[in-house]
Structure 1
């Protein structure tokens, strides 16, 4: 019973409840929304956001932020798309895309750790640089006519379930166990929780912050490959503004903007919610331009709630420390 009670207090559980309520409420208006086919499609359509949210979680856990992921997605998708369009192999396109994300992530990480640039400013600058690089690389044109075998990857099914969906879900579970159960995996949250304390106990803070940015960049590139496979073409605005949705998804899933708190499972559930909101609006026949307004409103509400929860936790900790000091004083007297 105590385990059940403890589970219900987890941020991830509250996010899961929110997701279920979203489907139930919209399903009451339009029963097609809760059909098995639509639920599977909602999961498939959210893969892009899940992959990005997992990468964002690594960075947020360390107390930093990465808003260059949308541009990394666009550039990686464009470069790999050109390689594939011109007859290159899928393996080569994947390797080049991952290298692009890794290099950009490395630059972000070194800028934050070595040059002591704010992660917001560093990744904002990188966002603009990468966007211009993409336009220059494609001459401002869309990348089209991708080979069918590449586009078929996103449509492959196993037992009626999309293969990419299975792979991404398994990867999220494995990463969750790594971050929560391994000593080195817990370093990311430890850095965000108390960076000075992490330094004192010997955690290589700068190294793990760089690793977090590299992981974010690599996963943004993988998201770019998924995007290219699902859509079949890459525009010059691919991934534009997606970073705000991803941040909202991660925070909605219980990842704190202050660092040190959260899980990739929660972030993945938050990503499904943010993706499902778009399709919910379609089923509710709400104009598409409300998507951005709703996402922005959710982000504000989530951030305010996160700040209030953090303040409440700090007040509780101070109260416990004060009570402990008072008890110790009474015992001494």
Structure 2
């Protein structure tokens, strides 16, 4: 059913045009004598066709068309203007001002029916294309969600691949990722950025895939030579991820390379100092160290929470960005909830 808006200050003309419109079938005429009231109706309603007379009080047809076109979403709706025979200049101005077609008085019934049918057919095509575009956009969104889900699955699997060769557990990468998100929120980063670090942080140690077992799995202290090899996992992880077109993988590459840098410049692999260390690296440094300290491993006992907190506080400005430590401490209740949710024996997904 097409809504046809008819605006004319003459009752006779309104009655005539209404009758002609009803003869077309599948049309609902909406009548207004006053253009300002019709414009108010148009603010809430969307007609399929506008038929407007030129000569009207308060607002002529040209001004009505201009005001109508200025409303959101009304630029493509067909407009038919009705003018007198001797108003050629007005017709030209109407076409230039947004009218799609015009009729002259007295109205010819056959011409009226033909022109209105054509304009309603145009409107039907517009609505079909709009519906088609909406359908396609929905399909694109659906496929994009599927791709992102597969991307997240791939990231988890890559992270787990490093984990299978490392004494650290799956729960560790979950905890430190959520700790990183807590810090990001505490720093007032945008929600999308906080979500990004949650998704990318699990890849922080993916470069350990490239470290030989006799070093990676050595139960005792590493020799200086062995530790030099172990430190290369940061660059291995970066090289593995850096060329990806995925925003998450690129963030993971940055984290892999920089989460062992220290705020005073004594970290590795590049000895970056202060804000020269990318923010994601500074955030993950706090999250990763805290979880490593408070987690039990075959080669060490878990530190008590108060000792781990003291280590973070003592490391402000040396090992850690002071603002990242402050954000972590401010989110302490959430930190405890994450520790409870992701136990070492549990298998969970982000």
Asked if these proteins are the same fold (TM beyond 0.5), I'd say: no
With the shorter chain as reference, the TM-score category is under 0.3
Q: Kindly name which structure, 1 or 2, has the bigger radius of gyration based on alpha carbons.
A: 2
Q: As a proportion of its length, which structure holds more helix?
A: 1
More strand per residue: 2
